[in-house]
Amino acid sequence: MADLPNPDDFSFVDSPNEFRVRLEVKGEFVLTVMADSPEDARSKAVKETEVLIATGYFEGLDEVQEVEAGFAFQAPRMYRVTSKDGRKMRVSRLEPGMVPREPDEHGF
């Protein structure tokens, strides 16, 4: 088995205030919000969902009686890599054969 690449060799996109929050509105969906903590993320997600409901985003639902915020987790660090087959990607987990991606004339 090949060795895993060293994360310190890669540039990355870190989003410390970005959280994904699972919301239940007669079904479930995941919403990404910027927040300072999981509790703040849940609160912001509920407020944003209320705005979505008010603007008709959930058109087709007969009624929305309650919005409940469930689990909130921080968005993962995304490494900029070139895969084994040469594709430019962002990944949260490094795998053998991935190499650090270099910026081109357009940046990353």
Task: Give tens-digit pLDDT for 17-71.
Answer: 889 888 776 556 788 899 999 999 999 999 998 888 888 877 766 666 677 788 8
- For 49, the domain range is 18-74
How far out from the chain centre does Cα 2 lie?
A: 29
Angle CA(15)–CA(16)–CA(20) in degrees, nearest 5? 75
What pLDDT, on the 0 to 100 scale, is given for residue 24?
73
Tell me, yes or no, whether 82 lies in a domain. no
Tell me, yes or no, whether 86 lies in a domain. no
**Number of compact structural domains in the chain:** 1
Tell me, yes or no, whether 32 lies in a domain. yes
Tell me, yes or no, whether 105 lies in a domain. no
CA distances (Å), 64 to each of 22, 24, 29, in order? 16, 10, 14
Cα–Cα distance, 25 to 46 (Å, whole number): 10
Tell me, yes or no, whether 97 lies in a domain. no
